[in-house]
Chain A
């Protein structure tokens, strides 16, 4: 809603970091004229952990658990982006089965990440029921993650050269059950929200950004596609065998909060279908590439064979040594383009590791979207960007 400036009385207020709609430690400095935002200034420096610096002191394998802690609601995507970057640096291929499992897990992650977004976004705007429904489904997914990796959030499951271990027994059956049920659950959410007049009043025409501006501000993922730009890295630069799957990329028209909502809802449907396809075509075979000096030998060999034990020891202590060079690999994470830029100087630790976090860049466009609009629109717009502060303030 556009509202004319009426008074000369400008008030500066802090929104966050304790405000529930700021999703973590984001603080917004707002200059208000009544309820109209004159200026919005995001302050994000509250939990910087120096992950990029830490990477320079760790071996390539040791960095994997730290990637979980970036976008902590989508750990598999972070693991994957990092592993793909190191694999590209090394120039290695990984087995088919591992690739399919990676895709399967990443799409489950996308669903779980979008569920958390939908839950909190709806709650921000005042729809409480959706919050409980989404958390119910998310719980099922977290049980699945726990089943295969032993952890609910920080899974650290993907390894350089493959994955940590094969799928636990019962995983595929339980996932199939989830996949079969989930579309009807999605319909439930949509019944509550999509045509709901209150929901539409709060979201249609709010937080608008045009396609041109969105590209200029570097938006990516559903936030960009809501503005009508058809760009998804799974299609444009397929990785991990995404070209073998059939799915469509939902695109919005107006670039408002409502379109971004619709795009994400449809993305969950597509992800669900990708998971179903992955289960159907999952081949048998190895889950890690057997490359000396890169991947660990099988556990049973380590316990029985001397060579395997030495090999294991050397890899753990010294780490892998990729050739000198630099790569930039990005994947379509739930929030957008997640990129890892790694410079190797041929030693056991990265010389420089740079993370291109989608939330950080998406948040940058927030002032553009809310200035001149009303205070409640800020709440709706932050939610529609789906930010995770762990990723913004690395």
Chain B
């Protein structure tokens, strides 16, 4: 299916959920409301014409400076039909909560843990929401825009293990 056909299917079926859509550089993007995420994700995976069985990527985006929200972005691919779509879900940055899609794509597990670690987004219903890339006592969320790139963590390994022992 080409981009227009996919767009038509999603728009007619979920007209109330889609807040924005567009094609840039031949890539199809949808912004949808959080409440419809699970329903839409399930439909995209199980519909026999769309067949989005492969979750290529899931990540967070910090849009607080411009829109005051976080976005969770899903890149879907269909190995069978060879087409792609991008789904974006804006969520409030004050209370970043979104349902997990691990029930639909198993691979979302680590991606969601990463987004939790990097942005502090809480994925409701995730089986094991722990940090994955940073140490347990890491303070702050490194990929948020308000986290300075040159910041040092207050407790370094040196402070914890070596100081006073030399």
**Does chain A bind chain B?**
yes
A44 touches B61 (CB 8 A): no
- CB nearest to A356 among chain B residues: B57
Q: Is the CB of A325 within 8 A of B25?
A: yes
Q: Is the CB of B133 within 8 A of A48?
A: yes
Known: A53-B149, A394-B133. A361 touches B61 (CB 8 A): no
With both beta carbons as reference points, the residue of chain A lying nearest to B114 in the complex is identified as: A360
- Given contacts A44-B132, A45-B133, A341-B75, whether A361 and B110 have CB atoms under 8 Å apart is yes
In the complex, A337 Cα to B75 Cα: how many Å?
A: 12
Interface residues on A, range: 35 or more
Residue count of chain B within 8 Å CB distance of chain A: 35
How does the 8 Å CB contact mask read for A33-49 relative to B, with 1 for contact and 0 for none?
Answer: 00000000000110010
Contact B143 A52 (CB under 8 A): yes
**A-B CB contacts (within 8 Å), total count:** 88
Whether A45 and B82, one on each chain, are in contact in the complex, defined by CB atoms closer than 8 angstroms, is no
Given the interface contacts A44-B132, A53-B143, A215-B53, does A327 sit within 8 Å of B24 by beta carbon? yes
Q: Is B19 an interface residue (CB 8 A)?
A: no
From the candidates B56, B62, B79, B142, name the one contacting A352 in the complex (CB within 8 A): B62
User: Are B110 and A326 in contact, CB atoms less than 8 angstroms apart?
Assistant: no
Are the C-beta atoms of A393 and B55 separated by less than 8 Å?
A: no
Interface segment, one of A152-160, A229-237, A376-384: A229-237
Which residue, of B73, B109, B132, has the highest number of chain A Cβ atoms within 10 A? B132
Say whether B92 faces chain A, with CB atoms less than 8 Å apart: no
A341 to B77: give the CA distance in the assembly, Å.
14
A328 and B27 contacting across the interface, CB-CB below 8 Å = yes
C-alpha gap A88/B24 in the complex (Å): 10
Q: Is A56 an interface residue (CB 8 A)?
A: yes
Can you list 22 pairs linking A and B with CB atoms under 8 Å apart? A45-B133, A50-B142, A57-B149, A213-B106, A215-B54, A215-B79, A218-B105, A218-B106, A218-B107, A231-B79, A236-B79, A327-B25, A328-B27, A328-B57, A339-B56, A341-B59, A354-B59, A354-B73, A356-B56, A364-B107, A364-B109, A393-B133
Residues in chain A within 8 A of chain B (CB atoms): 44-45, 48, 50, 52-54, 56-57, 88-89, 91, 213, 215-218, 229, 231, 236-237, 325-328, 330, 337, 339, 341, 343, 345, 352, 354, 356, 360-361, 364, 393-394
